[in-house]
Amino acid sequence: MRRFTIFALVVFVLAVGGLFALGPSGTQRAQTSFLGVIAPFLKTGSDLERKITAVRQGLKTLQEMEAENKRLSVSNKELQAVNQTLRDLETENNRLRVAMHYRERAAFQLVPARVIARDASSWWNTIKIDRGTADGLESDMPVLTESGLVGKTTTVAEHAASVLLISDENCKVASSIEGTREQGIISGERSSGTSQPALCMRFLSKSANLQPGQKVYSSGVGGVYPAGVFIGAIKEFRARELDGYATLLPAVDLTTLEDVFVVLGRK
């Protein structure tokens, strides 16, 4: 080790002496040659350092990544909520547009109303709407949608009213069957379960021979319901001992009622 140190010292002294012996111009040429030799190494080292610095600056800590992931998750949920709201608004807008179009072309003077309450214990019997005597409503006024008959008003307050649904056994509607001379009375059947009661048509003739899909409308008999309101379609017909009996598919989905019309009279 000591010999190597002495040798290095001797080489250094000789190199320094050589530089002094070369003079200014020779020293400059030597420096230029030396710089040319080490320049590629200096450039490589500089590029490598810049790349390492860029990588370090681009890397994020684990905490920063977790925080950003949480922010993105919250933002994604907010966007999903906004999209769902927009879809709901579009659905409601389309539904109201159809209802308003029906109101314009209907032969009846109609008052629009919104369902504001529905009791679980009387789900298939009654609903409450946000219109009352202040809007011209009285008891025993037909209630319908653009799809068909819903029921009739019963108790009417100033700004609210109860509606008896056609699925209730006490709501009886005189009706007729399209393309036939058959007439009967439609009402709901008493049901102890949570499913929708069957809508039935009684007092038909035994020989009616009705087919599934035949449409049933209000006949206007009785004075409460105007003639020509769609009630439903025949689902099944049975001839009994004294008369004919049919079950119906209601024209209106009573499970999803939101907006209805109350018939004040003919236009």
Residue 140 lies in a domain: no
Residue 43 lies in a domain: yes
Q: State the average pLDDT for the chain.
A: 80
**Consecutive H or E run containing 14:** helix 2-58
Residue 156 lies in a domain: no
- The separation between the first and the last C-alpha atoms of the chain, rounded to the nearest angstrom, is 119
Residue 226 lies in a domain: yes
Residues 122, 161: Cα–Cα separation, whole Å: 15
Total domain count, the chain: 2
Predicted structure pTM score: 0.65
55 vs 180 pLDDT, higher one: 180
Distances (CA, A) of 119 to 128, 158, 247: 9, 20, 26
Q: Of the ranges 7-21, 86-100, 161-175, 219-233, which one carries the lowest mean pLDDT score?
A: 7-21
Predicted confidence (pLDDT) per residue in 28-87, tens digit: 555 555 555 555 654 555 555 565 565 555 555 667 777 778 887 877 777 776 667 666
Residues 263, 227: Cα–Cα separation, whole Å: 12
State which amino acid sits at residue 254.
L
pLDDT band of residue 265 (cuts 50, 70, 90) is: confident
Tokens matching residue 252? 């209106």
Q: Does residue 124 come out as left (phi exceeding 0), alpha (psi in the -120 to 50 range) or beta?
A: alpha
Distances (CA, A) of 21 to 17, 31, 119: 6, 14, 113
Coil, strand, or helix at residue 197? Answer: coil
156 burial level (CB within 10 Å; 0-12, 13-18, 19+): buried
pLDDT band of residue 205 (cuts 50, 70, 90) is: very high
Domain end call among 59, 83, 111 = 59
Which residue, chain included where needed, has tokens 């038909």? 204
Domain span at 215? 172-257
Residue 41 lies in a domain: yes
Residue 64 lies in a domain: no
Compute the half-sphere exposure of residue 43: CA atoms within 13 Å on the CB side of its CA. 6
Residue 9 lies in a domain: no
Residue 179 lies in a domain: yes
Give yes or no for a contact between 153 and 141, defined as CB atoms under 8 angstroms apart. Answer: yes
214 vs 42 pLDDT, higher one: 214
Give yes or no for a contact between 125 and 168, defined as CB atoms under 8 angstroms apart. Answer: yes
CATH number at residue 252: 2.40.10.350
